[in-house]
Chains A and B, each alone.
Chain A
Amino acid sequence: MMYNKPAEILLVDDAPDDVEIICQALKAQQRNSRLHVANSGSDALDYLYKRGAYTAAQRPDLVLLNLPGSNGRDVLTYAKANPGLCDIPIIVLTGGVALPADVIDICNLHANCYIAKPKDPKNYMDMLQSVLNFWLQVARLPSAITSQ
């Protein structure tokens, strides 16, 4: 599928090492993208709601949510409850053990998918490439113009 415009991706992640790995994974993608990073749940919500420092923020085409605990959960809850934002695909990435109750909870909140991050760095990079290949090359992402 050919795209003219770069994909706008919001990465919600408080770990600099993770951000770096995801940047590398994006660079290897065929489709151009612009990565915006929010380091906290409140930052991410400010970005999505275009408030505070983010009044000129671009609406993301895709959100990678890599924030553990209630902060990440709040981003998902508020975004998916908002009619102007709920169509943006949110991919939840989680490290550590993915407890069944957590998977079910996150899916009940309408996360588009739940991905458990492998511990091994090579496997993690392979997984990231699979995720990005799928969402940037195969899946159709909703257009900001039609959605608003």
Chain B
Amino acid sequence: MVINPCPIEILLVEDNPGDVELTQEAFADSKICNRIHSVNDGVEAIDFLKKRGAYTNAVTPDVILLDLNMPRMDGKEVLEIVKNDPELRLIPIVILTSSEAEKDVVKSYKLHANCYINKPVDLTRFLEVVKAVEDFWLSVVKLPRQEEAPGKKEKRQ
């Protein structure tokens, strides 16, 4: 198991309040120290990542959980912007979506999503999947932001 420095900052980009609540609860139970920041759509996500508007003091997340179908700006647009930005492209993006369309899977990977996960409808299975995401991305994977030089990382609040 990898010990990533604490807390791991997670940006959740999700427009369904029920899914936001479930995901936050699942991560709150984690043995791995983490902090979830939640935004409701792609426009807010980019503001958060670029630290503008209401998010001038936002931290840079260690990992992003990204829904695809959202109002104003969808997940694929967010993915494209983030993965083309030299300041942001290292952040792993886990697509967490109800879309089972194969074209969405392929397009997301082609835009360099780190992985693609279908959100189950069943509550128990949804929580299992979120737990699996947490177990893998927070304690098996080496997160690149955790490896950056101390001068590049913001002081963690």
Contacts and interface: CB of A to CB of B under 8 A. Distances in A.
A123 B105 CA distance: 32
B106 A139 contact: no
Given A100-B147, A133-B132, A134-B136, A140 B141 contact: no
Contacts of A1: 118
> Of B112, B114, B135, B141, which is in contact with the most chain A CB atoms at under 10 Å from its CB?
B141
A131 interface: yes
Interface residues of B, number: 31
Contacts of B140: 115, 127, 130-131, 134
B117 interface: yes
Contacts of A57: none
B72 interface: no
B54 interface: no
> Of A113, A116, A137, which is in contact with the most chain B CB atoms at under 10 Å from its CB?
A113
B102 A146 contact: yes
Interface residues of A, number: 36
A3 B15 CA distance: 29
Given A143-B102, A146-B102, A146-B106, A110 B112 contact: yes
B70 to A, nearest CB: 19
Contacts of A86: 109-110, 112
Nearest to B91: A107
A142 B142 contact: no
Interface string A128-148: 001101110111111101110
B141 A113 contact: yes
A108 B114 contact: no
Contacts of A108: 89-90
A140 to B, nearest CB: 5
A1 B100 CA distance: 12
A103 B106 contact: no
Contact of A104 (B114, B118, B148): B148
B122 to A, nearest CB: 12
Nearest to A103: B147
B76 to A, nearest CB: 13
A98 B135 contact: no
A110 B115 CA distance: 11
Interface of A: 1, 80, 83, 86-89, 98, 100, 103-104, 107-108, 110, 112-116, 123, 127, 130-131, 133-135, 137-143, 145-147
Interface of B: 1-2, 83, 89-90, 92, 102-103, 105-106, 109-110, 112, 114-118, 129, 132-133, 135-137, 140-142, 144, 147-149
